[in-house]
Amino acid sequence: MSHEQSHELSWNQYGKAEVRVVHVDRSEPQHVVRDLNVTTALRGDFGPAYTDGDNSRVLTTDAQKNTVFGLARETGVGEPEAFALAVARQLLSACPSADVARVEVEQYPWSALGGGHAFSRAGSHVVVAELELPRDGEAQLSGGVDELVVLKTTDSEYHGFVKERFTTLAETDERLLATQVTARWRYATGAAESADHAAVKAGALAALLEAFGGHHSLALQQTLHAMGSAVLDARPELAGVTLSLPNKHHFLQDLSRFGLDNPNAVYHADDRPYGLIEGTITRR
């Protein structure tokens, strides 16, 4: 039996990964730097390229890369959500065989130092936009943030968990709580194109941070729920929030052998293994 009779291509996607584009807007005395990492992909009727090496329906990944740079020049680079939508539309226009265009954008924030033309990286977190645009359907858009590291030195407890023969963790009513937030907020139907993306992003990020800082935590799971709920309360344009929160463990260091007490003052930080708490909060 030939491969053609026994096998079929059930799914395919191809594109250009991690196009690094930096756009400088010099229209005002204070320049604006947009620093992006863009990944594009197309899905559709590309079977012959896989089965027969027939590339007649293929928009090259090089052309996808050039689309990113060309649109950065033609339209500028505003909010990453809007730029992703512009790129996706152009790709669908250029490639009739494509049914869906997917664009992911990571934005590395820069802060002005003064003088109009000097900048520093603004913290460690990365702003993210993820878009899927069907040719004949509604855009599906998510925004978010990666690598947002937060820590609180009190208002965190952990007790009442299952205890069995492999349980060694001690209960505590006072612990240091730290995590590196990965968040994706999903836009409601119809909001992808009409929303003020800058306001959504600023509001969602502020809600995440306020909820983490102001919440008395009995578990990181409970804190996740509070953070996701705060984002939805703050931004009506959003339908749901998915959070991934690794527990960046900090354990009290035993100083008794040196004749010293340790009233929640000195910790050692372990990077692995770590608890990984994940969940999605949606509107009812």
Residues known to be catalytic: 16, 61, 249
Measured on CA atoms in the order 51, 57, 63, 65, is the torsion positive or negative? negative
Residue 116, exposed/middle/buried by CB under 10 A (0-12, 13-18, 19+)?
exposed
What is the phi/psi pair of residue 180, to 5°? -115, 105
Instruction: Output DSSP code: residue 13.
Output: -
Tell me if 29 sits within 8 A of 37, measured CB to CB: no
SS3 letters for 98-132? EEEEEEEEEECCEEEEECCCEEEECCCCEEEEEEE
Tell me if 275 sits within 8 A of 249, measured CB to CB: yes
DSSP-assigned states of every residue in 182-249: EEEEEEPTT-TTTS-HHHHHHHHHHHHHHHHHH--BS-HHHHHHHHHHHHHHH-TTEEEEEEEEEB--
Distances (CA, A) of 106 to 17, 22, 25, 98, 200: 12, 12, 18, 23, 16
